Chains A and B, each alone.
Chain A
Amino acid sequence: MVRTHPLRAYVRTHRARAVRGVHDQDTSRAPRHGHERLDSRPVPHSPAVEVRGLVKRYDGRAVVDGLDLSAPVGRVTAVLGPNGAGKTTTVECCEGLRAPDAGTVRVLGLDPVADGAALRPLVGVMLQDGGLPTGVRAREMLDHVARMYATPLDTDALAERLGLGAFARTTVRRLSGGQRQRLALAVAVVGRPRVVFLDEPSAGMDPQSRLAVWELVRELRDGGAAVILTTHLMEEAEGLADHVVVVDHGRVLAQGSVPELLTAGADAQGAATLVVHAAGDVDPAGLRDRLGAGFAVERRSGSTLAVTGAVGPATVAAVTAWFASHDVLVTRLDLGRRTLEDVFLDLTGRSLR
């Protein structure tokens, strides 16, 4: 299969390393099948974005503090973290908007600051605050940015695809949050980017918009683009990302595919979690006394308790019996499956900040 691909040369240089298994950070999807596969399409594992030891300080305070990140071609990489974790700053360093204080950033093998002119045509950006002038009409903005590229996407088709037609002649200041986000996404992809940075793409979106955005992101990935998105929505990371990087305080706490992160978390605890939803309030300490030393019981919220330990059939029976003895109805029991949210909260802590 012959396909004109701007990354062909780049991919060629990375092929040998990939075959040797040097790039081994992501095995969650499409395992390698050897040379045939590598000859016909971009190496899924070659990194489109490589960040090593990134440090960025504002007024002497390190917002990003020795961060390593690798985002493969043909994958969606989610940078997940609480507000103030350093997600936006990291992405802005990759976009060439900020110069690192230390460490290296490479996008498609290029330095985003020094090689900016060569890189900009290949990179699409959606900023967290939109970056759309308030006085411009929606469609006018999309057409304007399209003029910066030699061969942009057909803006009619793109506008229809993202449902921009309904507000094509409306000025940005009059658009809803979701409409602005959809326009900003259209602007980010109109230049057929090989690497797309989306900073909190689903913020302020209604469910329909979010669905449309997720579909477009998957399509970009399937077309061979590397998509890097920041989010603090577990649902988004879990549903959309092939590779999740959990960051906090400017450092990477964990990274891997969603299943990898879930298992890694469970292994660390060596235990399963039983979440008990009840119709009334009970004292977690009482339940822990009843279950014995091998279990931890904590209150999740109101009348929901989480039992962590070697949960077996006898544990479930003991829990329900204990609730019955307190005359409190158990309304739901969830066993086992940790969510990304559990992993995230374990890693970043549960206290408000």
Chain B
Amino acid sequence: MTAPVPDVHAGAGVQRAAPATRRVLAQAAFEARMILRNGEQVLVAVVIPVLALVGLVKGTFVEIDTDGLSRADFLTPGVLALAVMTASFTSQAIATAFDRRNGVLRLMATTPLGRGGLLSGKVLGVLAVEAVQVVLLGAAAFALGWRPDAAGVVLALLGVALGTGAFTALALLVAGTLRAEAVLALANLLLLVLALGGGVIVPAERLPGPLSTVAAWLPSGALGDVLRGALVDGALPLVPVLVLAGWTVALGALAARLFRWH
């Protein structure tokens, strides 16, 4: 995608970049490869969610009121929400923060990829990692007796896309404004806090006291509710969808304003 070049400089404007789609896809594959090759990232994004799912479904040490559903049917949507948060927030925030510190963002911005292509590649890379997560978690859940309805699965994928938007925006906001070490600590801490008290695995309405109100308005609680609505009831609940969309717009606007490349 070349901006129009004045005639006198036609020679300088000769397109020598690869086509934009090829550049972005190359970057997406690169990003996904980097994440899936990094042991810590795989631990956070794949191993922990799968272990959480197996442990919660099989472990009888935790008493869970499943509303008459099987434990797998009740817990799988929340674990999927957790997985989305690890890939689009924790892992993306850490990777981007260190790339920013090491000048990787600036270097790639000077290649034909550009800043826009780099960001598009990052988002597609996250989606690729999520595809791996969904397949592995889905297979594990299925083996544990999870039986979602087909229409709900399609709606859930929409929910995953919405959640990815909100949490990737949050990832870019912290990665683009804080020091890499601070991002490393914050991204892990926030994941832990939201996983336990943010309405992800335990629905917001089941949380004690004022936490239940707060969690429902957090992107984590909204994402959990959206996936539970899609996979359990076969419908997208309106309020959590709007909450997630609102977070996506607000965090995206903040990130666009505050993100620093240097």
Chain A residues with a Cβ under 8 A of chain B: 5-13, 92, 95-98, 108-110, 114-123, 125, 127-136, 144-145, 147-151, 187, 191-192, 194
Contact = CB atoms under 8 A, between A and B. Distances in A.
Nearest to A192: B16
A145 B111 contact: yes
Interface stretch (B30-38, B62-70, B146-154, B186-194): B30-38
Nearest to B17: A121
Given A132-B104, A148-B26, A108 B110 contact: no
Most buried by B among A8, A95, A121, A187: A121
Nearest to B105: A131
Contacts of A117: 1-3, 112, 114
Contacts of A114: 3
Interface residues of B, number: 40
Nearest to B4: A118
A249 B229 CA distance: 62
B249 to A, nearest CB: 26
Contacts of A95: 110
Nearest to A96: B110
Contacts of B114: 116-117, 120
Nearest to A141: B30
B178 interface: no
A8 B11 contact: yes
Interface stretch (B95-103, B130-138, B162-170): B95-103
B12 A9 contact: yes
B106 interface: yes
B2 A118 contact: yes
Interface in B1-46: 1-3, 5-6, 8-19, 22-23, 26, 30, 34, 37-38
Contacts of B15: 121, 150
B112 A135 contact: no
B103 A127 contact: yes
A135 B34 contact: yes
Contact of B12 (A118, A130, A149): A118
B12 A10 contact: yes
A14 to B, nearest CB: 10
Contacts of B108: 131
Contacts of A151: 16
Given A120-B112, A147-B23, A148-B26, A129 B18 contact: no
